[in-house]
Structure 1
Amino acid sequence: MGCEIQHSATSPMHANLTWKFTTQGKFTVRSAYRAIMEAEERERASSSTVQPRIVVSWDKFWTKLWVVPVPPRVRLQVWKFCAEAVPTLQNLQRRRPKIDQQCIQWGANTKNTEMLQHMLLECPFTKIVWALSNIPWCILSAWIGSISEWFSSVFQQLNRADQQHFLTLCWALWQNRNKAVMEGQGKEPLKVADSAFVFLQNYQAARRSQEASD
């Protein structure tokens, strides 16, 4: 799954996303969901093939996380994810038993509990966002135990640019989830993916400018 990202000549910090799953390159939720289902079907068809297990290197992951060129708020949010120190509805339910745990972003369309694995990987809304990235679904979909193990495994299999995009998209998904909680409505998947890319590009441009002036 994925899309081609092109830079506008008039606005270098804006990402024009071309959706490859429709003939005209226009994103639709229907085409995204169909692409997701087809990818999962291919995944199930190849499940009989033994895949090499990724050895999780904690020291390597944590060391690289704190120096990867993404905004500090992104790194902090990933740390909170790995420590499971975020107020998902599942976590809140432990202190407030009567709270509704239903996934906020997909709402009435799912009965899934809002926990980190669902929010960052399994929710249909999230799958559409991942489909808009160039990050291979076969890497993302390999959940291996805990949230921290998942982050470490995915991170180690990506190149430097995709590592930055992966972390920023995880942060953007959480921000959109909070917007849905606080304001009752989050962004559409395409806008989540687009805004995350632009946010990262703006940050990196600012860093380059600062380094050039030092």
Structure 2
Amino acid sequence: MQGATSSSTVVRDDVRQRLWSLKIVPRFRHFLWRVLKGIVPTRQRLWNKGVRCPLFCPRFDQAAESVEHALRDCPWSRRMWFASPLGFSWPADLSQSFGEWCCSLLLDAPQEVVEIFATVCYYIWRARNLLCFDEKESSEMGVVSLAMNTLHAYKETQQQMETHSTAPRDRSKQKWNAPPSYCVKVNVDASGSGSSWGLAVVIRNHFGNAIAAQHRPLLQIL
């Protein structure tokens, strides 16, 4: 028995650039890239590669599991999309492949929509794998909640890291902390201008007393 093959989509440079610029969890981007290239290991793709495995959808055993079926046409996936913040309701007669539709979305949709779309795609596939390999059924609302919480947590963390990296440091408020009594603390600093630079090292005990110090010029920097 042979099912129709989900074809690879020709990915334009502007689509590729938009995809890799998304500020989402990296594995979400990688999964969407696999969707665009037609290399998601659905049952239909494995079957067509000669792997003797079940062909039909693990949830809806009346259709071969293509990438279109797994991520869009399966009744469970349709409910997942409708429950997501995007509220998608896919038309039954959509002629585009899922990869082609993704390319159009990447080009035309706002950044936030594309980020949510990529995240939901990944979590639909993740829920499918939990069912196939761990026999764990997932509720649509539970998966949507997990997907959105993960996306929001990642974006908040990235924003905090960007804020921290760009915030000016007030050295006047920095305080030297003494080491434990059984240790010494080594502080190192460098300064200079142009091609003339120097390096300084100070070693202090737990009382804050300097027990050794050294300053040396560095080799000329070309």
TM-score interval, smaller chain: 0.5 to 0.7
C-alpha separation in 2, matches of 1:210 and 1:160 = 20
- CA deviation digits over 1:54-97, x for unaligned, max 9? xx983322111101111111101111111122211001112446
| Number of the residue aligned with 1:173 | 124
Residues 31-180 of structure 1 correspond to what in structure 2 (within 5 A)? 58-96=12-50, 98-104=52-58, 106-107=59-60, 110-135=61-86, 137=88, 141=91, 143-180=94-131
C-alpha separation in 1, matches of 2:96 and 2:128 = 23
C-alpha separation in 2, matches of 1:158 and 1:168 = 15
| AA of the residue aligned to 1:135 | L
Q: Higher relative contact order by CA 8 Å / sep ≥ 6: 1 or 2?
A: 1
Q: TM-score, normalised by structure 1?
A: 0.66
| AA of the residue aligned to 1:123 | C
Q: Once the 2 structures are TM-superposed, how far is the Cα of residue 116 of structure 1 from its aligned partner? A: 0.3
In 1, are the aligned partners of 2:36 and 2:103 still within 8 Å (CA)?
no
Q: Once the 2 structures are TM-superposed, how far is the Cα of residue 172 of structure 1 from its aligned partner? A: 0.6
| AA of the residue aligned to 1:198 | N
| AA of the residue aligned to 1:201 | H
For the structure 1 residues 209 and 97, does the alpha-carbon distance in structure 2 shift closer, same or farther, using more than 3 Å as the test?
closer
In 2, are the aligned partners of 1:89 and 1:102 still within 8 Å (CA)?
yes
C-alpha separation in 1, matches of 2:49 and 2:16 = 30
Matched, 1:213 2:171: no
Q: TM-score, normalised by structure 2?
A: 0.64
| Unpaired runs of at least 5, structure 1 | 1-55
Instruction: Say which SS state the counterpart of residue 99 (structure 1) adopts.
Output: coil
C-alpha separation in 2, matches of 1:198 and 1:146 = 29
Two-structure CA RMSD over aligned residues (Å) = 2.2
| AA of the residue aligned to 1:69 | K
In 2, are the aligned partners of 1:143 and 1:150 still within 8 Å (CA)?
no
| AA of the residue aligned to 2:17 | T
| Number of the residue aligned with 2:168 | none
Identity fraction in percent: 23
In 1, are the aligned partners of 2:43 and 2:66 still within 8 Å (CA)?
yes
Matched, 1:198 2:149: yes
C-alpha separation in 2, matches of 1:211 and 1:112 = 46
C-alpha separation in 2, matches of 1:57 and 1:175 = 24
Of Structure 1 and Structure 2, the greater helix share is in 1
| Unpaired runs of at least 5, structure 2 | 1-9, 166-222
Aligned residue pairs total: 155
